[in-house]
Each structure stands twice: as C-alpha cells, then as structure tokens.
C-alpha cells in the first residue's frame, strides 16, 4: 500500500461522470461514514473494474490527502487510488421491484445520513437489506424498504410509535377492528374507536397485520423478519413512513424522496 493511503470497505451510493475519464462517487464506508470522492481515470478502468457500480461492496484504497474541485462541489473530495470488488449485488437488476427498492435505500442515505459521521450500525443494516433484497421474493421489496426506514428512524431517534394507540393507549391486540389510522404529525396511530366522528384522522388506513409486520421489523434482524402483509399493504405503510421522514428529519422536506414512486405502483405479481 502506498504511504499516506488507507483502505476501507465501502458501498457506492452514487456516481457522476466528470470530464472525460474521471468519476465522482459518493461512498458509504464502514469506518468513516459517507463522503464524496473522485476516481481519476475511473471510466472503464481496470484499476476499478466493477467496484464503482452502485450497490457494490468494495475494498477501496484512498488517499489521506484531499483535493478541492470548486467547479464540482464545495465539499472536499477524497481521491480513490484503487479498488477491489468484494460483493456485487447483480441479482437486483433482474427485478424492477428489487432495483427500485435498492435505489430507494441509496436515496435515503444520500439525503438523510449525516456526512463524515461513522455509522457502523447503519452500514451493517444497509448491507443486510441489500442481501435480503437478493434473497427474498421480489414481492417483499417494499417490506424491506419499510423495515430499513423503521430501523433508520430508530438510529436517528425519530422512530414512530407503533405499539399503542396515541389516544387510548390500547395495544394492537386490544383495539377493535382490522385497521388503525396513521397520524403523521404525531408519528403514531389511532384506533377505530378514537377516530369516530373525525374523518380527517382516517386518511391513512393501515391494517393491523401490516402494523405487526412493522413492529416485528423494528425488533428483529431484517433477514429474520417474517412479513405477513401483502405488497399493497406495504405500499400504504411506505407512504406513511415517507411522510414521517419528511416531517421529522430536518431538511428532508426541501428535497423529498423521488425513488419511492416506483414502489408505490408495482407491476402485477405473477
């Protein structure tokens, strides 16, 4: 290894061509968190191979010195010297739903994860979600994104309250009916009884089965969570969680998520 260089395991969250041969890449590393980098002559270079592909985990050799490209960004860019791919999630591209879900994870990290802050727990969560997307049926794509968002909000300290009705404090098992109603501004839900006569509080109905899925996802590892609710139900939960992020994560309301739209209008399942 060249002096003044370090090695780190990283995922590629975003790439942008620069000039003729260079690549600007946003990396999410195991020890240093998220930062922006540049790969000189990174376009079709043997030094990088497929390591700059999205969703790929690679061992990167990076220069400890930084360079400034004011015409690209105000952020200081770390120079990538070489990289070796460790795991490429090639199966994701075979299914539109899986690729859309992985793109959604990347967008959330790009917009809501603080830069230059170690986030080892989220790094492992992200990697496990990518593997889960590869392993599970494509109909579970929205469920995996929901589980990721729920765990991510836990890490941020803004997780929604899922265990009890906001008003009467009854649990999911205790409330009557088959649906509860999400309340975005409170980050919680109300039961059927507590919304009687208030139609404005019934705009987002979520099945109790779906809420049990969400609760289990917050408690268990992604790849060990058994999702019982169907894809259409998880689309409804995704809508609520997206609004939850916009409401409770500072700055995200100015740059709302765009990739979630591909998960809200899923293709018919075979």
- Model confidence at 7, pLDDT cuts 50, 70, 90, reads confident
- Model confidence at 14, pLDDT cuts 50, 70, 90, reads very high
Rounded-to-integer distance, Cα 10 and Cα 12, Å: 7
Distance of CA 130 to the CA centre of its chain: 10
Q: What is the pLDDT at residue 52?
A: 86
Angle between helices 208-219 and 231-248 (to 10 degrees): 60
Output 192 or 69, whichever has higher pLDDT: 192
pTM for this prediction: 0.89
Q: Look at phi and psi of residue 49 and say left if phi exceeds 0, alpha if psi is from -120 to 50, else beta.
A: left
Neighbours of 70 (CB within 10 A): 6
Helix runs in the chain, H state only: 96-112, 120-135, 141-156, 208-219, 231-248, 261-264
User: pLDDT (tens digit, 9 = 90+) per residue, 90-131?
Assistant: 788 889 999 999 999 999 999 999 988 889 999 999 999 999
User: pLDDT (tens digit, 9 = 90+) per residue, 142-197?
Assistant: 999 999 999 999 999 999 999 999 999 999 999 999 999 999 999 999 999 999 87
What is the set of domains in the chain, with CATH numbers? 5-88 (2.40.50.140), 95-264 (1.20.1440.120)
User: pLDDT (tens digit, 9 = 90+) per residue, 205-251?
Assistant: 999 999 999 999 999 999 899 999 999 999 999 999 999 999 999 88
């Amino acid at each position: 290894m060249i002096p003044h260089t370090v090695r780190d395991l990283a995922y590629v969250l975003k790439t942008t061509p620069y000039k003729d041969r260079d690549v600007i890449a946003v990396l999410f590393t195991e020890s240093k968190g998220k930062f922006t980098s540049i790969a000189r002559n990174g376009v079709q270079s043997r030094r990088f191979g497929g390591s700059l592909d999205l969703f790929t985990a690679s061992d990167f050799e990076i220069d400890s010195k930084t360079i400034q490209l004011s015409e690209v960004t105000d952020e200081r860019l770390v120079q990538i010297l070489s990289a070796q791919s460790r795991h490429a999630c090639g199966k994701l591209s075979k299914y539109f739903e899986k690729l859309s879900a992985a793109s959604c994870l990347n967008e959330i990290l790009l917009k809501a994860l603080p830069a230059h802050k170690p986030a080892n727990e989220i790094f492992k969560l992200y990697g496990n979600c990518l593997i889960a997307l590869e392993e599970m049926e494509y109909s579970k794509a929205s469920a995996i994104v929901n589980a990721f968002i729920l765990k991510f909000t836990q890490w941020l300290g803004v997780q929604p309250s899922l265990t009890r009705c906001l008003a009467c404090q009854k649990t999911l098992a205790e409330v009557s009916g088959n649906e509860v109603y999400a309340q975005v501004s409170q980050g919680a839900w109300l039961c059927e009884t507590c919304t009687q006569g208030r139609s404005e509080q019934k705009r987002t109905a979520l099945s109790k089965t779906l809420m049990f899925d969400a609760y289990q996802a917050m408690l268990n590892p992604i790849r060990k969570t058994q999702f019982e609710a169907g894809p259409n139900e998880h689309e409804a939960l995704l809508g609520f969680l997206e609004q939850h992020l916009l409401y409770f994560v500072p700055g995200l309301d100015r740059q709302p998520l765009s990739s979630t739209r591909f998960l809200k209008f899923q293709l018919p399942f075979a």
